[in-house]
């Protein structure tokens, strides 16, 4: 599994990686600190999931989300932010994000969110085609 972590703070990227290392042993992690780096990483190699901060310098995470969902429509994007879910979650989901995780609860919610995304994709891939 290839996971791209996009946040403008190196300590946050490191913390998100540490949360996920145990849950996804063998996963490969890439990092980006701004929107341009996100798009460059996605061109450089295939990723299975993108963790994207809402607030980044240059292009905001919401702007990057629009580009990513247009260019890579099948890529699951989990928006991460310190902002309350009540303020941003629905806007992110309507804009094409797969999930929203508050950074304050990332240690409990991030790995289960990724697992849920992949469990659903396995269910879809294994379900029979109905005529």
**pLDDT given at position 121:** 55
Section 87-91 average pLDDT: 87
For 41-126, list the strands marked E by DSSP.
49-53, 77-81, 99-102
Give the global pTM.
Answer: 0.88
Section 6-32 average pLDDT: 95
Does the structure show a pLDDT above 50 at 124? no
Q: Where do the domains of the chain lie, and which CATH numbers do they carry?
A: 2-126 (3.40.50.2300)
Measured distance CA(101)–CA(80) in Å, rounded: 5
């Amino acid at each position: 599994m290839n996971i791209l972590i996009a946040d403008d703070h190196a300590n946050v990227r490191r913390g998100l990686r540490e949360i996920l290392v145990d849950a996804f042993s063998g996963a490969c992690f890439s990092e980006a600190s701004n929107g341009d780096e996100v798009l460059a990483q996605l061109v450089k190699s295939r990723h299975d999931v993108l963790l994207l901060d809402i607030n980044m310098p240059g292009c905001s995470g919401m702007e990057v989300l629009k580009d990513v969902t247009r260019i890579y429509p099948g890529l699951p994007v989990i928006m991460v932010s310190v902002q309350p879910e009540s303020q941003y979650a629905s806007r992110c989901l309507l804009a094409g994000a797969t999930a929203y995780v508050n950074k304050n609860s990332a240690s409990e919610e991030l790995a289960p969110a990724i697992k849920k995304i992949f469990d659903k994709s396995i269910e879809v891939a294994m379900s029979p085609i109905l005529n």
